[in-house]
Copies of this chain bind each other. A is one copy, B any other.
Amino acid sequence: MSFESDNTASVHPSILAAIVRAGEVRSASYGSDPWTRQLMPRFSELFEAEVAVHPVLTGTAANALALSELTPSWGAVLCHSGAHVLTDECGSAGYLGGGLTLVPLEGEHGKITATAVEKWLSTRRSGDPHQAPASTVSISQPTERGTVYTLEEIAALGAVCNAHEILLHMDGARFANALASVGCTPAEMTWKRGVDMLSFGATKNGAFAAEAVIDFRVICGNDLLYRRIRAGQLLSKMRLVSAQLLAYVSEGLWLKLAARANEAAVQISAVLAGLPHTHIIHPVQANAVFVEMPRDTAERLYAAGFKFFHRMSPTGNLYRLVTSHDTTAQELGKFLRTLIRTDAGGARQQFN
Which A positions have Cβ atoms within 8 angstroms of B?
A: 2, 5, 7-11, 13, 15-16, 19-20, 23-30, 56-62, 64-65, 72-74, 76, 87-92, 94-102, 104, 127, 129-133, 203-204, 208-209, 222-223, 225-237, 240, 326
Interface contact A28-B56, CB-CB below 8 Å: no
| Residues B131 and A230 in contact, CB atoms below 8 Å apart | no
Q: Which residues of B contact A131 (CB under 8 A)?
A: 87-88, 90
Q: A20-B20, A94-B99 are in contact. List 7 more A-B contacts (CB 8 A).
A: A16-B20, A19-B23, A64-B230, A74-B91, A89-B130, A204-B236, A208-B240
Task: Tell me whether A237 and B94 are in contact (CB under 8 A).
Answer: no
The residues of B that contact A59 with a CB separation of less than 8 Å are 236
B residues in contact with A73, CB < 8 Å = 73, 95, 98, 230
* Distance to closest chain B CB from A91 (angstroms): 4
For residue A32, give the distance in angstroms from its CB to the closest CB of chain B: 9
14 contacts between A and B (CB under 8 A): A5-B236, A7-B29, A8-B29, A20-B20, A57-B233, A60-B232, A64-B230, A73-B95, A88-B130, A95-B99, A98-B98, A208-B240, A231-B231, A232-B232
Q: Is the CB of A101 within 8 A of B94?
A: yes
Contact B235 A232, beta carbon cutoff 8 Å:
no
In the complex, A85→B75 CA distance in Å?
A: 15
Asked if A229 and B89 sit within 8 Å, CB to CB, the answer is yes
Q: Is the CB of A10 within 8 A of B25?
A: yes
Q: Are A326 and B26 in contact (CB under 8 A)?
A: yes
Q: Which of B23, B89, B95 contacts A11 (CB 8 A)?
A: B23
